[in-house]
Amino acid sequence: MQIELHNVNKTYQTEVESIHVLKNIDFTVESGQWLMITGPSGSGKTTLLRCISALEQVDSGEIILGGSNLAALSDAERRKLRKDHIGYIFQDFQLFDQFDVLTNVMIPQLPDYPEEKVEKRARELLTLVGLNDRERHMPRQLSGGEKQRTAIARALMNNPKLILCDEPTGNLDAGNRDHIMTILKEINQKGVTIVLVTHDTELIEYGDLHFRLSHDGELVRNGIKKGIVP
Amino acid sequence: MKKLRLYNKKTVFTVITVLILTISTVSYTLSLLTEANQQVSQSITNFSRGTYDILIRPPQAHTELEKQLNIVENNYLGIGDGGMTMEDWEKVKKHPQVEIAAPVASIGLFTARERTFMLEKDPLDAKYYEVEYATSDGVNTYLNNDSSFVYDFGVSLAPFNVYPSSLEVDESYVGDYVASFTFPVSYHQVVAVDPREEGKLTGYDLTPLLEENLLDTYEYEDGKYSIPIMSLADVSVPVSIKLTIDDLAEPTEEELDTWMDAFIEGNPMLTLIEHRDVYHQVVEKHISGKRLQREKVVELTPDMNHSPFKQALLFLDENDQLKLEDRENDEIALGGAFQMNSQRIGYRLSPVVYQIDDEQKLSVNQIGVDEVYNAPIYRKIEEVEFYQIDDSGRPLNNEDYVGFIENGTFSIKENTETLASTPLGIYGSEQPYMASDSKALLHPSAVPGSFITTPAHGLVSIEHAERIKGEAPIDAIRVKVAGITVYNDEAESLIKQLAEEWRDEGFTVDIVAGASLQELPVEVEGLGKVMQSFTTLGAADTVVSSWNAMQLALTILYVLVVLTFVIYTFFNLLSDRLKDEQLLERLGWSKKTIDRLRYREWSLILGLPIFIVLMGFILFGRWSNEWLPFFISIVISVVYLLLFFLIDRMDKKVLHVVTKQRNSITLQNIRFYRNNILASVVQLFLTTFLTCFLPFFLLQNVSQATKTRLGSFIHGEIEGLFVVIIILLYVLSLVTVYQTLSRVWTLRIPEIKLFSILGWEKKTIRAYFLKEVFVWAGLAILTGWIVSVVVMSLVIEITVLSFAVGILGALLILFITWLGSIYTLKRVQSKGGDKLANRAS
Amino acid sequence: MKKVSKVLVGILLFGSLFFGISQIEANAAVETNMTPTQFTKKTYEYQTITIGTNVGGRAEFRFNKGDGSATKTKLGSYSVSFREYWTKSDIYNYWGRVISENYGPGPTRYGKATIRIQ
Residue C1's pLDDT is what? 40
Helix (H) or strand (E) holding B149: strand B148-152
- The rounded distance, in Å, linking the Cα atoms of A94 and B521 is 69
Helices (H), A159-204: 174-189
How many other CB atoms are found less than 10 A from the CB of residue B180? 31
User: Can you give the pTM of this predicted structure?
Assistant: 0.58
Same domain, B37 and B123: no
- Residue contact B757–A55, C-beta within 8 A: yes
User: Which chain A residue shows the shortest CA-CA distance from B761?
Assistant: A79
Q: Which structural domain range is residue B276 located in? A: 116-194+233-339
Range 14-43 of A in CB contact (< 8 A) with B: 19, 21, 41-42
Whether residues B38 and B179 fall in one domain: no
Q: pLDDT (tens digit, 9 = 90+) per residue, A74-96?
A: 888 888 888 888 888 888 888 88
Last residue of a domain, one of B339, B361, B379: B339
Q: Is B55 part of a structural domain of the chain?
A: no
In a domain, B559, yes or no: yes
Sign (positive/negative) of CA torsion A71, A76, A81, A83?
A: positive
Q: Which of B308, B324, B339 corresponds to the end of one domain?
A: B339
pLDDT top residue among C36 and B185: C36
**Domain edge (last residue) among B339, B374, B394:** B339
Instruction: For residues B188 and B275, state if they share a domain.
Output: yes
CA proximity to B816, closest of B777, B771, B761: B777
**Domain membership flag for residue B623:** yes
Question: Once rounded to an integer, what is the mean pLDDT over residues C65-75?
Answer: 93
Whether B40 and B126 map to the same domain: the answer is: no
**Are residues B39 and B130 located together in one domain of the fold?**
no
Residue B652 within a domain: yes
Are residues B548 and B640 located together in one domain of the fold?
A: yes
Residue B369 inside a domain? The answer is: no
B382 located within any domain: no
Domain identity same for B188 and B309? yes
Mean pLDDT by 10 residues, chain B (841 residues): 66 85 80 69 55 85 82 78 92 93 90 88 94 88 87 90 93 92 87 91 88 86 90 80 94 92 92 93 94 93 69 87 82 89 86 85 90 87 89 88 89 64 69 88 84 86 88 90 73 84 91 71 90 72 62 74 82 80 72 83 89 90 85 89 85 50 73 79 82 70 53 59 73 79 81 80 83 88 88 76 83 88 81 43 32
DSSP B156: G
The answer to whether residue B199 is domain-embedded is: no
Q: Does residue A20 register a pLDDT over 60? A: yes
- Give the mean model confidence (pLDDT) for residues C86-99: 94
Shared-domain flag, residues B590 and B724? yes
- Tell me phi and psi for residue B332, to 5 degrees: -125, 135
For chain B, say whether A83 makes contact (Cβ under 8 Å).
yes
* Nearest residue of A to residue B834, measured between CA atoms: A55
Closest CA of chain C from B339, distance in Å: 5
Long-range contacts at B668-675 (CB < 8 A, ≥ 24 apart): B668/A98, B668/A99, B668/A100, B668/A103, B669/A98, B669/A99, B669/B772, B670/B772, B670/B775, B670/B776, B671/A98, B672/A97, B672/A98, B672/A99, B673/A98, B673/B744, B673/B747, B673/B748, B675/B571
Supply the angle between the helices B709-747 and B674-697 in degrees, to the nearest 10. Answer: 160
Q: Are residues B672 and B782 in the same domain?
A: yes
> Under a CB-based contact definition with an 8 Å cutoff, are residues B546 and B530 in contact?
no
> Is B768 in the A-facing interface, judged by CB distances under 8 Å?
yes
Q: Do B662 and A98 touch (CB under 8 A)?
A: no
| Number of domains present in the structure of chain B | 2
Q: What is the pLDDT of residue B546?
A: 61
* Chains A and C touch each other (3 or more Cβ pairs < 8 A): no
% of chain A residues with pLDDT over 70: 93
Angstroms from B226 CA to nearest CA on chain C: 11
Looking at the structure, do residues B796 and B653 belong to the same domain, yes or no? Answer: yes
Q: Do A103 and B760 touch (CB under 8 A)?
A: no
Asked whether residue B170 falls in the same domain as residue B295, the answer is yes
Do B130 and B40 share a domain, yes or no? no
